Amino acid sequence: MGDGNILTDLERSDENCILRFDDGKSYKLSYLSIRSRCQCAKCKPRQENEQRIIELEEEISRLMLEKPKVELVGRYGIRFEWPTGCSSGIHSFTHLRKVSEELGEQLD
């Protein structure tokens, strides 16, 4: 059993995905939540305070969020390729775990 810093499985549905980590915990997380915490150069500065996060979330919620393509980046992260753009950010496993705990729903 690991310490939860490695993503072992990602199951994609139309509006959300299920992330499983190496400590056995699983979370259901919406694509909206993932995008609202996007780590790309354009989105990251927009999460520096509550007000900017709200604006970013509103903007994303107006997009058609389609099922993204996923690409593994080394052994530490994944890159989502969104049909609506914003695909350059790398989402490290530790970042995804943090977002999962903050915005996701923990599954049994």
Residues engaged in binding Zn ion (CB under 5 A): 38, 40, 43, 86, 89
We find the least distance from the C-beta atom of residue 84 to Zn ion, in angstroms, to be: 10
- Give the residue with the Cβ less far from Zn ion, 44 or 105: 44
- Give the residue with the Cβ less far from Zn ion, 61 or 106: 61
We find the least distance from the C-beta atom of residue 60 to Zn ion, in angstroms, to be: 9
Alpha carbon 31 to chain centroid, angstroms: 7
- Give the residue with the Cβ less far from Zn ion, 9 or 55: 55
We find the least distance from the C-beta atom of residue 79 to Zn ion, in angstroms, to be: 11
CA distance 33 to 57: 8
- Give the residue with the Cβ less far from Zn ion, 43 or 78: 43
